[in-house]
Chain A
Amino acid sequence: MNWTLALPEIVLAVSGLVILLAGVIPKKDNSFAISLAVLGALLLAAVLVLAQKEGTAFGGQYVADSFSGFMKLLCILGAAMGLVLAMDFFEREGLARFEIPVLILFATTGMMVMISANDLMSLYMGLELLSLPLYVLAAIDRDNSRASEAGLKYFVLGALASGLLLYGASLVYGFAGTTNFDRLADALSAQQGVSAGVIVGIVFIIAALAFKISAVPFHMWTPDVYEGAPTPITAFFASAPKIAAVALLTRILAGPFGDVASQWQQVIILASLGSMVLGALAAIGQRNIKRLMAYSSIGHIGFALMGLAVGGESGLRGVLVYMAIYLFMNIGAFAVLIAMRRDGRAVEGIDDLAGLGRNDPAMALAMAVFMFSMAGVPPLAGFFGKLYVLLPAIEGGFYFLALVGVLSSIVSAYYYLRVIKVMYFDPGLPGFDPRPASLSVVLAGTGLFTAFFFLFPAPLLAAARQAVASILG
């Protein structure tokens, strides 16, 4: 048995347990040291992922290929940046608990298992390992009624999604006779006409994963949970787990269910259209910037799903590149949100950003870059994300989808511009509290990536192409 293939996950899980022990034993608070230890473990996992060989392990349950490598690195990066954002925030909120980094670590392990899943069983295990820490994280500020509400909502809807996934998986198993992705691919391609049971099963699985990536019509939890959860936790929710879920969706739709694309394509197209339109329209009326970001993330997922609906090498590459760019823009924007503290208290209104252009030009510039980028204005990274999805969409003849995509990005430009308007044009409020160095580092990194991606697009494109090639086989 080739268990060494799963070394990154094993190392993460074991170090998670060790760090948990190290957190429990001392009497006094040591959350900072624990955070550093978790960052170290994530770094180690990243190195191991880079060194990982290709192949399958655990009786075909687990697969390592360049797709899993690409996606895992993105997830680890997202988790690490989310953790850096969280470190100082919880300190200031008086919520510093060593459990937070450990939970992030376990969630990351879950994501990696999900990404490497090659069987409906390991898929479910990974998804649950990811979800359970997330439920706890959402409600970690347990004395805050909004956070508790967010945690509960997330848990109930997440449990429903898990139920849908299991039901779908059992249908697929019942009608196709296997849960292994490779054998599913064989079974579905050999079958003359796919049985309705398998299709219903696939739709259930897609619905469950649509919950995780908050695609329309399974998005309802997103604004409430984003608003209720502590901001760094929201930043984490909006980045790494979404990437993992998109990776999983990509893998199962391109792999085992690739031959029955005609059956699920409309579902993805509808989800994509709905997400883009809703993300654009519903955000217009928002006053709370976290809710705004929630709808914005729904819109972005709609764009990524466009690539998935188009499929093929270039379509899926578009998805991967889009998610990578989304990760940077999103973490960067959330870093600004976390820095929004006045007189020691976090503020969340869009109007609270007023005067930022004068009080903190560097941060305002970074936020403007993120907002213009999310709106899709070249030469910023977000434009290229959209471009690499639109190119295959037109190539594949999905004109309507592409048209709705660009039209919704006009509408969404309106609310992204509003953030910039508030920062630069409106009369100023008093400045924010000084921001910690950790935020500045994340802001600088993500801001530079977003602003200057256009100089070196080729490496990311090449890596994504290689990743996609490995799952299309």
Chain B
Amino acid sequence: MNAAGFPLLSLLTFLPLVGALIIMLVRGDDAVVASNARWTALWTSLIVFALSLVLWAQFDTSVAGFQFQEQSEWMPDLGIGYHLGVDGISVLFVLLSTLLTPICILASWDSIQTRVREYMIAFLVLETMMIGMFVSLDFMLFYIFFEGVLIPMFLIIGVWGGARRVYAAYKFFLYTFAGSVLMLLAIIVLWNSAGTTDIPELMAKKVSSAWQPWIFFAFFASFAVKVPMWPVHTWLPDAHVEAPTAGSVILAGVLLKMGGYGFLRFSLPMLPEASAQFAPFIFTLSVVAVVYTSLVALAQTDMKKLIAYSSVAHMGIVTIGIFTANVQGIEGALFQMLSHGVVSAALFLCVGVLYDREHTREIARYGGVAKIIPAYALVFMLFTMASVALPGTAGFPGEFLVILGAWAVNPWVALGAATGMILGAAYMLLLYRRVAFGRVTRDSLKGLADLSPREHAIFAPLILLTLWMGLYPSSFTQFFQASVAQLVQQHQTAMGVARLAGVAP
């Protein structure tokens, strides 16, 4: 079976659905249902998180290949199977998903008062889809989870979102759906040439050079929207602004990583030649994303929108790192994704704390909150610094490694990425200064309550992780070192072959 001795990954994936089912069956008046739904969702997600710690403990960091594999028949005559497993690249994303879900549920404890039952069901279904996507080792299975995310997320934005929620939900759904159906066609093309959708088998087979650019483009359409890369990023600010706090947290924390994970899992290893050919294209888009969205972030008046644009910039650094195709770049990209998952999630939670109290996200409506709610201001500052990539916080190692890796490929790209860091410092510090410092201009702010025990519980793990990742990054990098080394080595071998054949530059 696997190292854990029981189907751990299936359990992780489908346990949230059991919780959702229990919530669905709760009977009683509204208040009882709401309270039961909250507690059931919280306990389910905590149990899932505890189970995922088994994964953390038992994962063998010296193995590059897939671990905890589970396999069974699904559509045998089509070569489509049920195959789960994790390697160094995916294991930490599973943990990120299981960590953020209980935090999201806690963050929605008071702020969601309508249709609590449906909300909690949507979040648990979302957790199943996220975990399932990261542990799938069958491309069709991956696609199903990848797309399945759309259903709960569409409802979360559309039902519990802000004023323009319908527009944002549509835009989110249609952008992502359009990208993914092209990927579906590419998956079928791969299936047609290999006779299977099993990911390890597909990785072992070479895709014909003529097809690689087309398949790369189709994958790109899907993953670039998800990352999101400039110029298909415009759904993200809308979705973030309109989504409820927890929706933004999951969106920034996990869903954006699906794009980067896709590039790393599929585009780079399966399509090495096309990846090399299109790397300059990706670099260009990424540098534009980093610089342009940072400038746009500077001009924002809405806190969530500002952080949303900063996410696009940070994810631009991730795509640069992935397509450097060297060890530093890819490790940096992975680390950046994980740290962004923690830090941007925490920033959205910080905004949520203010929004819950004042019901506005306008930066201009705040000022001087550090004097009124010092504990909150301290937390907010830590995450601001992490987002700026101050050394010692989670943001630093990832960006530093990516710039190192990019320097080896093309110093101009490294320069572009570094510009992003400078601009990032500018807009984040501006945000923090305007919100936390200065005179308290508005009377209503004087009555602000500081963090409640529930909010302390939400932020504590994120603070811990931010510092841990910044101060001792190797306890995280050790998970993916072996896998990344193997990935890079295979990529170089493939490129060597291609160069001999005269296909690649």
Contacts from A to B (Cβ < 8 Å): 357-358, 361, 372, 375-379, 383, 387, 390-391, 394-395, 399, 402-403, 406-407, 409-410, 413-414, 417, 420-421, 424-425, 454, 457-458, 461-462, 465
Q: Are the CB atoms of A402 and B188 closer together than 8 Å?
A: yes
Partner of B184, one of A406, A462, A465: A406
Closest beta carbon of chain A to B139's beta carbon, Å: 12
Q: Are the CB atoms of A379 and B185 closer together than 8 Å?
A: no
Q: Are the CB atoms of A410 and B181 closer together than 8 Å?
A: yes
User: Whose C-beta in chain B lies nearest to the C-beta of A458?
Assistant: B75
Closest beta carbon of chain A to B340's beta carbon, Å: 27
Query: When A406-B181, A425-B165, A461-B77 are in contact, do A394 and B155 touch as well, CB less than 8 Å?
Result: no
Contacts from B to A (Cβ < 8 Å): 73-78, 115, 118, 140, 143-145, 147-148, 150-151, 154-155, 158-159, 165-166, 169-170, 173-174, 177-178, 181-182, 184-185, 188-189, 191-192
Q: Are the CB atoms of A379 and B144 closer together than 8 Å?
A: yes
- B169 proximity list for chain A (CB < 8 A): 421, 425
6 nearest A-B residue pairs (beta carbon): A378-B144, A406-B181, A394-B188, A425-B158, A378-B147, A379-B144
Rounded to whole angstroms, the CA-CA distance of A403 and B115 in the bound complex is 39
Q: Are the CB atoms of B192 and A394 closer together than 8 Å?
A: yes
Q: Are the CB atoms of A377 and B148 closer together than 8 Å?
A: yes
Rounded to whole angstroms, the CA-CA distance of A394 and B190 in the bound complex is 10
Partner of B189, one of A383, A387, A394: A394
- A357 proximity list for chain B (CB < 8 A): 115, 118, 159
- A410 proximity list for chain B (CB < 8 A): 174, 177-178, 181
- A394 proximity list for chain B (CB < 8 A): 185, 188-189, 191-192
Q: Are the CB atoms of A413 and B177 closer together than 8 Å?
A: yes
User: Whose C-beta in chain A lies nearest to the C-beta of B189?
Assistant: A394
- A358 proximity list for chain B (CB < 8 A): 115
Rounded to whole angstroms, the CA-CA distance of A406 and B150 in the bound complex is 17
Query: When A390-B188, A394-B189, A394-B192 are in contact, do A417 and B159 touch as well, CB less than 8 Å?
Result: no
- A403 proximity list for chain B (CB < 8 A): 185
- B78 proximity list for chain A (CB < 8 A): 391, 461
User: Whose C-beta in chain A lies nearest to the C-beta of B157?
Assistant: A425
User: Whose C-beta in chain B lies nearest to the C-beta of A361?
Assistant: B118
- B185 proximity list for chain A (CB < 8 A): 390, 394, 399, 402-403, 406
Query: When A377-B177, A410-B177 are in contact, do A465 and B188 touch as well, CB less than 8 Å?
Result: no
Q: Are the CB atoms of A377 and B192 closer together than 8 Å?
A: no
Partner of B148, one of A379, A407, A465: A379
- A406 proximity list for chain B (CB < 8 A): 181-182, 184-185
- A457 proximity list for chain B (CB < 8 A): 74-75
- B158 proximity list for chain A (CB < 8 A): 420-421, 424-425
Rounded to whole angstroms, the CA-CA distance of A390 and B77 in the bound complex is 16
Partner of B188, one of A391, A413, A424: A391
- A409 proximity list for chain B (CB < 8 A): 181
Q: Are the CB atoms of B159 and A424 closer together than 8 Å?
A: yes
Rounded to whole angstroms, the CA-CA distance of A458 and B76 in the bound complex is 8
Query: When A358-B115, A391-B188, A425-B158 are in contact, do A417 and B173 touch as well, CB less than 8 Å?
Result: yes
Rounded to whole angstroms, the CA-CA distance of A361 and B471 in the bound complex is 49
29 A-B pairs whose Cβ atoms sit less than 8 Å apart in the complex:
A357-B118, A361-B118, A372-B151, A377-B147, A378-B144, A379-B145, A379-B148, A387-B140, A390-B188, A394-B191, A399-B185, A403-B185, A406-B184, A407-B181, A410-B177, A413-B173, A413-B174, A417-B154, A420-B158, A421-B169, A421-B170, A424-B158, A424-B159, A425-B158, A425-B159, A425-B169, A454-B144, A457-B75, A458-B76
- B76 proximity list for chain A (CB < 8 A): 458
User: Whose C-beta in chain B lies nearest to the C-beta of A455?
Assistant: B74
Rounded to whole angstroms, the CA-CA distance of A449 and B350 in the bound complex is 43
Q: Are the CB atoms of A424 and B170 closer together than 8 Å?
A: no
Q: Are the CB atoms of A465 and B144 closer together than 8 Å?
A: no
User: Whose C-beta in chain B lies nearest to the C-beta of A408?
Assistant: B181
Apart from the given pairs A358-B115, A402-B188, A457-B74, 9 other A-B contacts in the complex at a CB distance below 8 Å: A372-B151, A383-B144, A394-B188, A406-B181, A410-B181, A421-B166, A425-B165, A457-B75, A458-B74
